[in-house]
Structure 1
Amino acid sequence: MTAPPHRAPAEASLIRVARQARGLSPEAAAQQAPIRLGGSRWREIEKGYKGTGRQPVIAPDLTLAHMARVVGVTPERLDDVGRDTAAEILREILRQEAESDQAPARPYADMSDRLERTAWEMPLPVEERKLIVDMLREAKAQGRQERSA
């Protein structure tokens, strides 16, 4: 007998499609979340299971809210898939960001630039990736100055 195919929860599919639309790997997306979350855990949540035994995985509300924030899923869309508590947490995250005038979590790098995107997706802490992107920008600016002289 074969086990029936596993179907990921609706919210997991929503997160996966939104992440893919942003051009982020699970690792890059997880690094942008302000909570402790790794790329492998992100993948488990998107698939809706872990391990070869396909143990079901449902994202806790707090985790799902932060994942949604990273990939641009709105609270209304979380409501639509039945994750009301996660939607309310996401509303609060957005409310706090608006109150503090904090910019939304976005990549520091220009994702249309191949080198900056590669640097941004490296498995390093955010501050180190920012440093690498700054060094790339400095080198580009220096190259432009030398060519114009």
Structure 2
Amino acid sequence: MEIKFSGSRWRQIEKAYRRDSDSQVIAPAATLAHMAWTLGISSDRLAETGRADATEILRELERSKAPAAEPAPEAAPLAALEEWQQKVILNVLDERPRSAKEKALLLRTLAAQIEAESAGQGDPDKPPMQTVQNIPGRSAS
């Protein structure tokens, strides 16, 4: 849930006072939680203010918007190649202009081929890495 409000509303909440009506301003719980989130204030710190309603919303924001944990790195098949082989692959990538998406696709395809060959699933009648020519963005030589 995203909350949008103007800068003047933000200032009213900060000052706890609304000048045009001479009235006290108390931020709604969701608004206060989003303000705290924007400022990087933790839910523990917000809890010190006594606003349990806003604290619970901020805790939920922290849980839902926390960056996802990165999967544990597995053995990188391209890292298993010798240095000269890695250089050949990088040179092929730089042979002609490619988008980052094309380069990523090429590397994923090569990695899949290396994994298949190392697991003995490659075609025994084909020499290793023969299918590189069929990778999108790679012209046959």
Class of the TM-score when normalised by the shorter of the 2 chains: 0.3 to 0.5
Q: Which has the higher contact order (CA 8 A, sep 6+)?
A: 1
Q: TM-score, normalised to structure 2's length?
A: 0.45
Structure (1/2) with the larger helix percentage: 1
